[in-house]
Structure formats: structure tokens, C-alpha cells
Amino acid sequence: MSDEQVAEVAEAETPSGGEDWRSMISEDLRADASLQHIGSIDAMAKSYINAQKMVGAEKLAIPGSWATEEDWDLVYNKLGRPAEAGDYDLGDMSGDMADWFREAAHQSGLSDRQAQKLAEAYDEFAGQATVMSEEAMETHRENIESELRQEYGGEFDDKMVRANELLREFDAPDLTEIQLADGSLLGDNPELVRLMVNISDYVAEQISEDGLAGRDSRPGLSDEDLQSRMSEMTAKNSPYWERMHPDHDRVVNEVLRLREQLHGE
């Protein structure tokens, strides 16, 4: 009989008049400790009825310290663990992660419902971690830009334009987009930015006034080349047309400079 059923029986009071029902049973049963909480004949009857209902009900024995894996498997299966790991329904989770999760859930004895709840909790956590990572990266970029702006002062924008021109000159415009192990981009590394700025400054000082971007230093750069580059930079959906794009100002300045070169200004 369960604790709830025992408590239910214990609430029954001794019949009015003070008659003790135990006087109606044999003396050898009267003192049994299991009867001390029963206060009346009705309570005894209720206790018996509840006990009869429990007869034949499915029971689950919890294995002790001596239990084997097979013993626990019987428990997990009775508690709702799917027959096979592949039977778990994990919603939108897919791929290698889902395969690993199903195997781990099955070995841990989780029911389908428990595995679903755990998968949902993991998805929520992973989503929050991604958002936090993106926010951290954006803060990192802002801190680096603030540091470099303070270092270069009013020349910051010009130096960034020349550094990016240097990358394009050597056909490496996507170099700054390489992702590092910590999730940051190579272009967010202040030491790389300083290196590119120093190289572009050296080129400008030692080779020509316009550095690598100057038409005089590259006589092979034709009007068609300049026009082609401007067309590429002002293409639809490019940063040139998106005012809020972080690269917008640089691209606009570069297009203006190319126009000046094209028209000999």
C-alpha cells in the first residue's frame, strides 16, 4: 500500500462512543504494529480494498548496487526507452549531431520524451551561445576600430582604403575574411591591420604618390580597367548601396577615387 493510501486510512477516527474495534479481533492480532494507525472498522475495510487493487498491478523494482547492465536495460525499457537509438524523434535536429545524440540518449536510458526535452534544451542553449558569440565578435571589432582610429587619427579612413587596395593588388581581397580558431576573422586582428597599413605607407612613399593604386605606377591600367572595377564595386546589393554596411564608406571612397583617376582629376 502506498504512503498516500496509508495516510488516507490514518485520517479515519475511532467511532463515537470510544469503542475500540481491536477488541473484536483475537488478542494475538490486536497488538500487531501494522494495525496501530487504523482507527476504525471502515478504515480497515478501505485498507484491505486498496491492497486488493494493488494485487496484480505492474511493479518496477529498482536495481541495487549489484545490478548488471542487463538489469538496468529492463528498467529503461519499462520506463519508455525506444527499442533502437534510431527510434528517437528529435524534431529539427539532424546530421552527425543527431546521430550522436540518439546513441548517447539510448545508452543513458532516456525515454523518447526525455530525449526530446533534452534536445530542445540543447538547441536553446546552442542558439543563445551563438548569439552571444556574434555579439562578442561585434564588440571586439568595435574595440579594434576605436583603438586604430585613436592611433591613426584623421588618417584612419585613408589608411584603411590603401590597405584594402594593397590586398586587391595582390589578388587577396578575401584574406581578411579567413576565420581563426577562436571564431574571429583575420581582418579583425589589429597586428595584421597595422602590417598592411605599414606596407601600403611604404609603397606610397617609396614607389609613387599613389602607391600601388596609382595609374602612373601601373601604366597598364586602362580606362576600361578602371570602369570595370567601378562597375564591380557599384553592383546591385554591394556595400556601395547599403548605407548601414560596415564596408560602405570605404567602397564609396574607393569609387570616388577611381572616378578621379578615370577623368584625370
What is the residue-wise DSSP string for 18-31? ---GGGGS-HHHHT
Res. 15 pLDDT band, cuts 50 70 90: very low
Check residue 126 and give its pLDDT: 73
Q: What's residue 60's pLDDT?
A: 63
Quick one: average pLDDT of 189-200? 86
Nearest to 176 by CA among 242, 239, 247: 247
pTM of the model: 0.35
Compare 265 and 234 and report the one with higher pLDDT: 234
In the prediction, which pLDDT does 211 show? Answer: 43
Helix runs in 108-239, H state only: 112-152, 156-169, 190-206, 223-233
Average pLDDT, the chain: 76
When pLDDT is averaged across residues 195-223 and rounded to a whole number, the result is 62
Query: What phi and psi, each to the nearest 5 degrees, are found at residue 185?
Result: -95, 150
Tell me the per-residue pLDDT of 127-153, one tens digit each, with 9 for 90 and over: 666 655 677 778 888 888 899 999 988
Q: Which amino acid is at 188?
A: D
- Name the residue type at position 98: A
Q: What percent of the residues of the chain are helix, what percent strand, and what percent coil, each to the nearest 5? A: 65, 0, 35
Per-residue pLDDT tens for 39-97?
Answer: 888 888 888 777 766 655 556 667 777 778 888 888 888 888 998 988 898 888 888 88
pLDDT above 60 (res 2)? no
**What is the pLDDT, as a whole number, of residue 243?**
81
Q: Among 64-73, 97-106, 228-237, which range has the highest average pLDDT?
A: 97-106
Is the pLDDT reported for residue 235 higher than 80? yes
The confidence band for 220, taking pLDDT boundaries of 50, 70 and 90, is very low
* pLDDT reported for residue 78: 82
Structure-model confidence comparison of residues 259 and 5, the more confident one: 259
Which residues lie across from 179 on neighbouring strands? 185
Q: What integer pLDDT is reported at residue 10 of this predicted model?
A: 46
Residue 218 pLDDT exceeds 60: no
